[in-house]
A = this chain, B = another copy of it.
Amino acid sequence: MKTVGFERHDHDTCQALTVRAVEAHCKREGLQLTPVRKRVLELLIEDHRAFGAYEVLGRLQEEGLGSHAPAAYRALDFLVAQGFAHRIERLNAFIACSHPAEQHAPAFLICRACKSVVETPGVELGSKLEAQADTVGFRIEHAAIEAEGICPNCASEDA
């Protein structure tokens, strides 16, 4: 067990399940989960934190899976497009999706002290936002809901 997000959980299982789910999804959809793409997904899941594109690139370089910026961006773009990862605008960074498979409008809590990022269910928020957009005739295609602050772990350390 290791600390992930604000809590501990059985991470090995979590990772294995997610990767298998993604593999199945790609097979169904006729998508190619190539070695680079799969490895980037694993990286994101392993630490369960936000990675910058160049941080991902660094890992790919170490492992001989790519050497230039586009390699990382292409893999990340694929994962985001398929909903396996999310882009955190505030951080210019990427994180594995905590609830793949499910349809969801995610919201993120970003700790400015420890940099941890937690995905919280944003369904209600999403529908509220959509309702507001409707009233002015705006059609939402993608929503980013990101809150920055202090997570419970860092808050208790302060005290």
Binary interface encoding of chain A residues 91-117 relative to chain B, with 1 for a CB under 8 A from any of its CBs, else 0: 000000000000000010101100000
CB distance A136 to B149 under 8 Å?
no
A54 interface hit (Cβ, 8 Å): no
> A107-B129, A124-B128, A129-B125 known; A140 and B148 CB under 8 Å?
yes
CB distance B147 to A129 under 8 Å?
yes
Assembled-state Cα–Cα distance A92/B151 (Å): 25
A70 interface hit (Cβ, 8 Å): no
Q: Within the complex, which residue of B107, B124, B137, B155 is in contact with A6, where a contact is CB–CB below 8 Å? A: B137
CB distance B155 to A149 under 8 Å?
no
> A138-B118, A151-B138 known; A145 and B129 CB under 8 Å?
yes
Which residues from chain A sit less than 8 Å from chain B, CB to CB? 6, 89-90, 107, 109, 111-112, 118, 120-121, 124-125, 128-129, 132-133, 136-152, 155
What are 23 of the A-B contact pairs (CB < 8 Å)?
A6-B138, A89-B144, A90-B144, A109-B136, A111-B138, A118-B136, A118-B138, A120-B133, A120-B136, A125-B129, A129-B147, A133-B147, A133-B149, A137-B152, A138-B147, A138-B149, A139-B149, A139-B155, A142-B147, A142-B148, A143-B145, A143-B148, A144-B147
